[in-house]
Structure formats: structure tokens, C-alpha cells
Amino acid sequence: MKRSVIIDCDPGVDDCIALMAALGSPDELDLMAVCVVAGNVSVETCFRNARSVLALAGREDVPVHAGCARPLKVEPEFADHIHGESGLGKAVLPDSLAPPSGLHAVDYLCETLGAAAPGSITMVITGPMTNFATALQCDPAIAEAVDELVIMGGADIEGGNITPHAEFNIYADPDAAQIVLGCGRPITLIGLDATLQFRCTPARMARMQASKHRAPAAATAMIGHVNDVYGKIYGAEGAAMHDPCTIGYLLAPDLFTARRTSVSVDCSAGERRGHTAIGGVRTGSTDAINWIRGLHAEPLFDLLLGRMERL
Ligand code: BDR
Ligand code: CA
């Protein structure tokens, strides 16, 4: 059955690839809107980038709503050292000519989810969770409209990427993550333990480069930059494609392995800020989280590249 989906993101190279894969999957995913939040880069830059991806895809019928410019409590933390100043690596995307939405993402979420039937909308979150957490604070009842949240965030055995203890999306707004992960709806959480298994290796880069289609061409320019940075910072061959895993999961959950567990977030200001304890402290509804442990990288790459080539 076709799923109605809202993507809440901070594009960002891998967010853009997730968007392109979703836009290339119209038979399975009805993309209702894209919400953006400050994360990898400022919310203004994320807004421009999301609109540019839609322009590239010829899908400017999908609205983009700009959301929160800063986290709930902590100071903003950006990741432009990974994604580049523009958030797009070396890619230059077309400017959007569509009239910009003036509706704040939090108002959009409250209005849309508030009016939707129970369990009718899937929320995909690939950035800090500030927008959805703020919407839940305004109106907790909106959670009822969500059938599942599929979120990129957290880490267990991999530790972290922004600090040794924390993954970026959770670190950037731990208070928001705690609210969203405790919202009581079914949650699939895809953290670094899985996404670091999905790298843009030289062989996969070569396949994207060889593609004649516009989305993989843009993705190659974006990921090329992140690959260089990864090589220098982590000594790793091939950047991880974190956020596209969410779309891959919606399209082909059998490519992922999971276990149900509790997840608790460290909201302290200490060195473990943003740490996710997987299967640790058992508190309330977080016990129900579907924690992704692994994935089948080669068929997942085939799937997502194929979807991007449809644009
Ligand atoms: C997450 O952090 C961001 O830099 C990426 O876009 C991804 O959502 C990975 O930790
Ligand atoms: Ca992201």
C-alpha cells in the first residue's frame, strides 16, 4: 500500500540523496511535504537546498516548510565541516522558481497531523528532531496520526561521529530526541551501527558516475566532497550514506535486521551528551523501538540508485 510520508530533514548531502530516492519512488511513497530544520547547515540553507532538490527532480508541487532555526535548549551545532558550506559538497543544484511557503514547519505538522486520520502518515526524520518535538509540545495528540516514525539517529556499538559518544542528529538536539523517541508511536531508529555499513565505496561511486541520469550525477558531486573529508578526518574509504537508509527501509524492510529494544538519550551537558543507551535503562514507551542493527548494502545501493535514476 502507498504510504503518505512527510520528510523532516537538514539537507545536507545524504539528506538530499534520501529526498531524491523518495521522489523516485512515487508508486510506494506519496511525499506530502518536506520540512527542514537547522542541523548540518542553517535552516535557511537547508530550505534552499530542499527546494533545489525538488527543482532538480521536477517536483516543485511538493511544498517545503522551513522550521526551527535552533535546538530546544542547547546551542546550535552544525556539520558544514562534512557537508561543505553550502551543505551540498561540490554540487551546484538549480535554484527553485516555485513561490516559497511561508508556513512554519511546526505549524504545518500541527495542522496536517491534527487533521489526519489516526495512523495515516509516516514521519521520516533525518536531522535533529526539533521540529517534530516542538509540534508534539504544542499538541501531543498529533502523534495519533503517525503510523510509524522512521528516524536516522543514534549509535550503539559504533559510539558516535560528532563525539566519541554521540551521533550528530541526537547530539544536535538531545532534548528533542528524548521527546520524539518517547512519543508512544511505533519507531524504527536507524543509527550508525547500520548506516556505517552503507558506504559510498569507489565501486559504488563509479556506478553513480557512469549513470547518465541527473540525480545520480548531482549525488556524485555531493558525495565526492564528503568522501574526501571522510578520507582526511576518519581515514575511511567511502562516506556513509546515513539518511537514504530511511527511504531504503520504507521500500524494502527485508534488507535490514532489527531488534526491539529500549533507547534512552543522555540529555546532560557532559561529555556523553547525545549518547543513546540501547537496551539500557528501560523507561516507558521507548521499550518499543525497532532498532536497526544491520543492512544488506549491495542490494540497498542497487535499489536506491535505481530510484534516483527514475528522476
Ligand atoms: C547524520 O548527521 C548528518 O550529518 C547526516 O545528514 C545524518 O543525518 C549522521 O550522523
Ligand atoms: Ca541529515
Query: Counting beta carbons within 10 angstroms of the beta carbon of residue 129, is it exposed (0 to 12), middle (13 to 18) or buried (19 or more)?
Result: buried
Identify the CATH number of the domain in which residue 301 sits. 3.90.245.10
pLDDT in tens, 151-172: 999 999 999 999 999 999 999 9
Question: Mind listing the pLDDT tens digit for each residue in 99-126?
Answer: 999 999 999 999 999 999 999 999 999 9
Catalytic residues: 242
Q: How confident is the model at residue 47 (pLDDT cuts 50, 70, 90)?
A: very high
Q: How far is the CA of 38 from the centre of ligand 2 (A)?
A: 10
Do the beta carbons of residue 286 and residue 263 sit within 8 Å? Answer: yes
Quick one: pLDDT at residue 285? 47
Domain count of the fold of the chain: 1
Pocket of ligand 1 (CB under 6 A): 12, 14-15, 40, 79, 82, 126-127, 152, 161, 167-169, 242-243
**Euclidean distance between CA atoms 68 and 64, whole angstroms:** 13
Residue 231: what pLDDT? 74
Q: What is the pLDDT of residue 102?
A: 95
Kindly give the distance from the C-alpha atom of residue 206 to the centroid of ligand 2, in angstroms, as a whole number: 24
Output the CA 13–ligand 2 centroid distance in Å: 8
**Is there a contact between 273 and 267 (Cβ–Cβ < 8 Å)?**
yes
**pLDDT score recorded for residue 282:** 54
pLDDT for 258-308, tens place per residue? 999 999 999 999 999 999 999 865 554 456 899 999 999 999 999 999 999
Whole-model pTM: value is 0.97
What range defines the domain where residue 266 resides? 3-308
Nearest CA to ligand 1 atom 10: 168
Residue 1 pLDDT class (50, 70, 90 cuts): confident
